[in-house]
Amino acid sequence: MKKVNANTCPEIGFAKSRNKKVDLNVNSYYLIKMNQMETKDDSSLDFIRTRIEEDIKANKNQGRVHTRFPPEPNGYLHIGHAKSICLNFSLAEEYNGKCNLRFDDTNPCKEEVEYVESIKKDVRWLGFDWEDREFYASDYFEKLYEYAVQLVKKGKAFVCDLSAVEIKDTRGTLTEPGTESPYRNRTIEENLDLFERMRKGEFKDGERVLRAKIDMSSPNLNMRDPVIYRILHASHHRSGDTWCIYPMYDFAHGLCDSIEGITHSICTLEFEDHRPLYDWFLEELDVFRSQQIEFARLNLSFTVMSKRKLLELVQSGYVKAWDDPRMPTLSGLKRRGYTPESIRDFCGRIGLAKRDSVVDIALLEFCLREDQNKRAPRRMAVLDPVEVIIDNYPEGQVEELESENNPEDESMGKRKVPFSRRLYIEREDFREDPPKKYFRLSPGREVRLKHAYYITCQNVIKDPNTGKVQKIHCTYDPKTKGGWAKDGRRVRGTLHWVSVPHARNAEIRLYDRLFNTKNPLDLKEGEDFKENLNPNSLKVLTSSKLEPGLSKAQPGDRFQFLRKGYFCVDPDSTQDRLVFNRSVPLRDTWAKILKKQKQK
């Protein structure tokens, strides 16, 4: 088997040398683990892979590794889910196992087909394939019901008439035991009859539930006679009106794992206290024992990961939709211009931990820059234009100047860009009264036009009413073609530009972080997380100018706009109006963070 150098593979978070070429496809991303297995070097294994290694050595489950990604179809996937997706599919790939895609669709009140389809689309976009293993908890409703009946027959479950509020009030606290339900000692026969009548729809929502009979004095609140079935007269997106009782997540999840033969059930840390309950159901029913292992979920700064809160932002109109480029959803990140390679790289870099922490969003942005620096074509776009007129350039003349498509990859070739007497430059690239260390265009100062000539500002025309600069008159040095002076003189400022008669109009959407605070949920009493929303998270520029070659760009195409950042064509684009989303600016704050860490 081909071996991968763990010191240079950027996809797994051990990158030490960016000068070496690395295949960024999904398969190479996972070959690192196989390389470790061959070399018997377990020193760099995380705690989950260490556990799997131990199980394989002990021939547990005949050395088989079978994982699953089990989303609830009650919203769109976000960047936190990407960590779980990459982990579960990678483990299956690394150990020649399998990974299922299973929808835990046990709550018909919140689930929609739209969410199912979006989840499948996002998993495929990340580069993973569940092959023929697409399952649903609803596939097992009849079997789960039979399991519940078995528990009743064993005296391990009972029908309870307490309301949800009453059950909560009698559950107890961390320091005080709970109070047993007055219905806890119903006979097996009575419980079987009531549970069957629950299924037939004889009772109203909330009138009765089925609870496991475990231990109301357990130090683990999850073991204090948890509800395992509730009545919901709601139509299910797959089973329709066949059922009016639905299993609770804690009951269904572990048993679905067991039915599918899942060997390692990888969950986030909040399910650690649920593991005894997970194991209890499997033990009492004497079924295949899946092993639950927990890891810390992904928390990202300046972001919320709660699907409930993200749904609130959508429904309240704070964002346009689930795929709004400001959202941390995978569909939003895709629309903003993030690549699956950059997200897989990010998930590999953050690694696995047993303790919750917050990852700086600058690292996610860094991963996109790393990916796009090597792959994104360079183009010139003037976002806030002001016109420059080169007085001594021949009127009507047009030159086709050669420009590289990507200096990081010569194989991407070069392109021709038209140059004329009238140009657009960025308004911020001119100052009539420049401060110190300002090296761009100002009266009497010479600057370089990228790929073109040196120009010198001669005078300025301003609006007589507002004083705003309307046009800048310059002269050029014809001996500096290509942007270099033959006499050796140098200039410190280099500007990008677009030829006025050849420019294409565009709408540019400049996205920033959705929240102003690092932890939007760190709230005082009475505060709402929406108060931390960034009012400047979107700025729309409607008069931007592009070099003409961009007129053929299609939705999803990605570019680096020189000196401005990485941009992606938005699906809102039409043949007459291009719309670009800024993915990330060029400024790399994470690189500075890394530099400071190294200095320490």
Length in residues, the chain? 600
Taking residues 536-557, what's their average pLDDT? 96
CATH number at residue 588: 2.40.240.10
What are the contacts of 4-11 at 24+ separation with CB within 8 A? 4/28, 4/31, 4/32, 4/35, 5/35, 6/32, 6/35, 6/36, 6/44, 10/345, 10/348, 10/370, 11/341, 11/344, 11/345, 11/348
326 and 415 co-located in one domain: no
pLDDT tens by residue, 306-323: 999 999 999 999 999 999
Measured between alpha carbons, how far is 544 from 53 in angstroms, rounded to an integer?
56
552 burial (CB, 10 Å; 0-12 / 13-18 / 19+) is exposed
Asked whether residue 1 is domain-assigned, the answer is no
Active-site residue identified among 83, 102, 211, 297:
297
234 and 153 co-located in one domain: yes
Measured between alpha carbons, how far is 553 from 198 in angstroms, rounded to an integer?
58
Q: Is the pLDDT of residue 37 over 70?
A: no
The pair of structure tokens assigned to 542 is: 């409607």
Q: How many CA atoms lie within 13 A of 513 on its CB side?
A: 17
φ/ψ (deg, to 5) at 322: -60, -30
Asked whether residue 28 is domain-assigned, the answer is yes
What pLDDT is recorded for position 600?
63
Active-site residue identified among 11, 68, 72, 93:
72
Sign for the CA dihedral angle at 483, 487, 493, 499 comes to negative
**Binning pLDDT at 50, 70 and 90, where does residue 40 land?**
very low
Contact (Cβ atoms closer than 8 angstroms) between residue 575 and residue 594? no
Active-site residue identified among 49, 98, 186, 307:
307
Asked whether residue 531 is domain-assigned, the answer is yes
Taking residues 391-415, what's their average pLDDT? 96
The pair of structure tokens assigned to 562 is: 């020189």
pLDDT tens by residue, 405-422: 999 999 999 999 999 999
Whether 370 sits among the annotated catalytic residues: the reply is: no
Lowest mean pLDDT among 154-168, 251-265, 474-488: 474-488
73 and 222 co-located in one domain: no
Boundary residue ending a domain (367, 402, 436): 367
438 and 574 co-located in one domain: yes
* Nearby residues of 367 by Cβ (< 8 Å), 6 or more positions away: 342, 343, 345, 346, 349
pLDDT > 70 fraction of the chain, expressed in percent and rounded: 91
What pLDDT is recorded for position 150?
98
What pLDDT is recorded for position 107?
96
Q: Is the pLDDT of residue 25 over 50?
A: no
Which residue reads 């060997």 in tokens?
A: 263
Asked whether residue 251 is domain-assigned, the answer is no
Residue 300 three-state SS:
strand
Asked whether residue 391 is domain-assigned, the answer is yes
What pLDDT is recorded for position 595?
67
432 and 578 co-located in one domain: yes
The pair of structure tokens assigned to 197 is: 């009548």
Contact (Cβ atoms closer than 8 angstroms) between residue 507 and residue 577? yes
**What are the distances in angstroms from CA 160 to CA 152, 213, 246, 285, 355?**
12, 11, 15, 21, 37
Asked whether residue 349 is domain-assigned, the answer is yes
Measured between alpha carbons, how far is 175 from 178 in angstroms, rounded to an integer?
10
> Count of domains in the chain?
3
Boundary residue ending a domain (367, 387, 413): 367
Contact (Cβ atoms closer than 8 angstroms) between residue 324 and residue 76? no
Measured between alpha carbons, how far is 376 from 405 in angstroms, rounded to an integer?
8
Reduced to 3 DSSP states, what percent helix, strand and coil does the chain have, rounded to the nearest 5?
35, 25, 45
128 and 146 co-located in one domain: no
**Binning pLDDT at 50, 70 and 90, where does residue 8 land?**
very low
Residue 140 three-state SS:
helix
pLDDT tens by residue, 79-111: 999 999 999 999 999 999 999 999 999 999 999
187: domain range?
Answer: 140-246
238 and 275 co-located in one domain: no
pLDDT tens by residue, 473-503: 999 999 999 988 888 888 999 999 999 999 9
Q: Is the pLDDT of residue 340 over 60?
A: yes
233 and 147 co-located in one domain: yes
Whether 72 sits among the annotated catalytic residues: the reply is: yes
491 and 409 co-located in one domain: yes
The pair of structure tokens assigned to 262 is: 């899942």
120 and 171 co-located in one domain: no
What pLDDT is recorded for position 593?
62
What pLDDT is recorded for position 17?
30
The DSSP H or E segment spanning 434 is none
Among the listed residues 161, 181, 299, 290, the one whose alpha carbon sits nearest the alpha carbon of residue 230: 161
Measured between alpha carbons, how far is 50 from 45 in angstroms, rounded to an integer?
6
Q: Is the pLDDT of residue 38 over 60?
A: no
Q: Per residue in 177-201, is it b (16+ CB within 10 Å) or e — as a string?
A: ebeebebeebeeeebbebbeebbee
Among the listed residues 253, 205, 275, 266, the one whose alpha carbon sits nearest the alpha carbon of residue 105: 253
275 and 382 co-located in one domain: no
Measured between alpha carbons, how far is 224 from 245 in angstroms, rounded to an integer?
21
Taking residues 36-59, what's their average pLDDT? 78
Among the listed residues 464, 455, 465, 481, the one whose alpha carbon sits nearest the alpha carbon of residue 388: 455
429 and 549 co-located in one domain: yes
What's 523's DSSP letter?
A: -
Q: DSSP alpha helices (H): ranges in 247-401? A: 249-259, 275-285, 307-315, 330-336, 340-350, 361-375
Asked whether residue 190 is domain-assigned, the answer is yes
Beta bridge partners of 472: 388, 460
* Nearby residues of 507 by Cβ (< 8 Å), 6 or more positions away: 540, 541, 542, 544, 577, 578, 579, 580
Asked whether residue 3 is domain-assigned, the answer is no
Q: Is the pLDDT of residue 287 over 80?
A: yes
CATH number at residue 93: 3.40.50.620
Q: Is the pLDDT of residue 209 over 50?
A: yes
- Across the chain, mean pLDDT equals 91
- CA 530 from chain centre, in angstroms, equals 20
Boundary residue ending a domain (301, 335, 367): 367
Whether 596 sits among the annotated catalytic residues: the reply is: no
The DSSP H or E segment spanning 319 is none
Q: Is the pLDDT of residue 9 over 70?
A: no
Q: Give residue 22's region: left, alpha or beta (phi > 0; psi -120 to 50).
A: beta
Question: What is the CB neighbour count within 10 angstroms for residue 78?
Answer: 24
What pLDDT is recorded for position 587?
83
Measured between alpha carbons, how far is 385 from 509 in angstroms, rounded to an integer?
15
Question: What is the CB neighbour count within 10 angstroms for residue 503?
Answer: 25
